[in-house]
Amino acid sequence: MGQGVLLRYRQYLPVTERTPLISMGEGETPLVRSSHLEGELGCGELYFKLEGCNPTGSFKDRGMVVAVAKALEEGSRAIMCASTGNTSASAAAYGARTGLDTVVLVPQGDVAQGKLAQAIAYGARIIAVRGTFDRALVLARELTARHDITLVNSVNPYRIQGQKTAAFEVVDVLGDAPDYLCIPVGNAGNITAYWMGFCEYFENGHAGRRPRMMGFQAEGAAPIVRGEVVKAPSTVASAIRIGNPASWQGAIRARDESGGIILAVSDEEILQAYTALARREGIFCEPASAASVAGLIKLASQGEPLKGKRVVCVITGTGLKDPELAARRLQQPFQESSGDLEEVEKLLGLEYVGKPT
Ligand code: F0G
């Protein structure tokens, strides 16, 4: 337990004798069975892969640990990424741990507070770019091509290699691939990575089949669904506010080779799934993560035959990343108390059982 993805899956990863097997205990995240939605949606079995349980609270750590290990192996001194927040948190953490200088380019005013707090805490250099994530990624590509800095966005192939281990874990736990894998799509690295993982496990006999890959973009940031770049992407799910995904082709391949789909879900559908996950399943995730469940709910409502099917929804990041949204969306009025026991009993409608002793 807690050995990290490099050690656990080294035979499937680009690990050489010179690769430092660094780890912060990434991976081995829980695959939790649904308590309510499974029955309501009529799925055979529904599971949530809780990637928010990774060291920095999102799935990014799986790929970052591999990218940073390879950067160290290659003698790099500095890393850089563009990010809607989670990649920057992860890069900053692994950079701090291994003594690499870390620079993160984030779209100004567009990153959830918890993620910014992480980059600040880990001591990364933060450049707030006036513009979208897509612009920040163009800058990061240019800067790393011109200078001796390693790019650790998912265009770095080691990131995808590390992230594919989540698919391995799903198969390792379930004994085979599920029928459906539901996943949010932003820059499209993760859907590409899961598909790679499922294909590799299928090819070497660890799995008897491969899942249908069901990707979900936010309606206002759905370039793959629409088939064209979105210049001014907009959605409440800031992590997937992306108009020109780097792994666009990888997502199309995952969809087409698996017989899957990539669909758009509205912000309202995302927020309903976000609330339902918290209130009915006890799973507090960030809004982008809820897109996978919003998509599944949408498929069920459109009559997708889910009966008897095994479904896994990837919950990509923890809800603590975006406390402001939680306060806005999930807030309930507080009741105030002076600290008096009987007063609190009264507020809660509890029966009077006599004076406190
Ligand atoms: N969910 C969360 C919580 C994310 O942070 C991201 C991407 C995605 C889903 C989508 O994954 O990009 O591989 O399709 N976040 C990136 C970032 C873009 O900068 O943190 P994807």
For 216-272, how does the pLDDT look when each residue is reduced to its tens digit (9 = 90+)? Answer: 999 999 999 999 999 999 999 999 999 999 999 999 999 999 999 999 999 999 999
Q: Round to whole Å and give the CA distance between 209 and 150.
A: 36
**Which of 48, 80, 84 for a ligand 1 pocket mutation test, highest count of atoms within 8 Å of Cβ?**
84
Q: Which residue has the tokens 């910014």?
A: 116
Percent pLDDT > 70 in the chain is: 100
What's the gap in Å between 62 CA and the centre of ligand 1?
Answer: 13
Q: Residue 333's pLDDT is what?
A: 78
Q: Residue 1's pLDDT is what?
A: 67
Confidence of residue 357 (pLDDT cuts 50, 70, 90): confident
What's the gap in Å between 160 CA and the centre of ligand 1?
Answer: 12
Interval 3-45: pLDDT, tens: 999 999 999 999 999 999 999 999 999 999 999 999 999 999 9
Closest ligand 1 atom to 317 CA? 3
What's the gap in Å between 88 CA and the centre of ligand 1?
Answer: 11
AA letter at 297: I
Q: Round to whole Å and give the CA distance between 263 and 284.
A: 23
Confidence of residue 330 (pLDDT cuts 50, 70, 90): confident
Closest ligand 1 atom to 84 CA? 19
**Which of 48, 50, 53, 58 for a ligand 1 pocket mutation test, highest count of atoms within 8 Å of Cβ?**
58
Q: Residue 356's pLDDT is what?
A: 77
What's the gap in Å between 112 CA and the centre of ligand 1?
Answer: 12
- β 45-50/31-33 pair status: antiparallel
Q: Residue 2's pLDDT is what?
A: 82
Q: Round to whole Å and give the CA distance between 94 and 24.
A: 8
What's the gap in Å between 275 CA and the centre of ligand 1?
Answer: 20
Residue located nearest, by CA, to atom 4 of ligand 1: 239
Residues 6+ apart with CB under 8 A from 233: 132, 133, 134, 218, 220, 221, 223, 241, 242, 243
Q: Which residue has the tokens 């990218």?
A: 67
Interval 130-178: pLDDT, tens: 999 999 999 999 999 999 999 999 999 999 999 999 999 999 999 999 9
Per-residue pLDDT for 331 more than 90?
no
Mean pLDDT over residues 101-112, rounded? 97
What's the gap in Å between 238 CA and the centre of ligand 1?
Answer: 9
For residue 207, count CB atoms less than 10 angstroms from its CB and return exposed for 0-12, middle for 13-18, buried for 19 or more. Answer: buried
Per-residue pLDDT for 332 more than 90?
no
CB-defined site of ligand 1, < 6 Å: 58, 60, 83-87, 154, 184-190, 239-240, 286, 288-289, 316-317
pTM tops 0.95: yes
Q: Round to whole Å and give the CA distance between 55 and 22.
A: 13
Interval 284-317: pLDDT, tens: 999 999 999 999 999 999 999 999 999 999 999 9
**Which of 137, 183, 190, 216 for a ligand 1 pocket mutation test, highest count of atoms within 8 Å of Cβ?**
190
Closest ligand 1 atom to 89 CA? 20
pLDDT averaged over every residue in the chain: 97
Q: Are the beta carbons of 160 and 194 closer than 8 angstroms?
A: no
Beta strands of the chain (E only): which ranges? 31-33, 45-50, 78-82, 101-107, 125-129, 150-151, 180-184, 212-218, 261-265, 310-315
Closest ligand 1 atom to 85 CA? 20
Closest CA to 263 of 296, 232, 231: 296
Residue located nearest, by CA, to atom 11 of ligand 1: 186
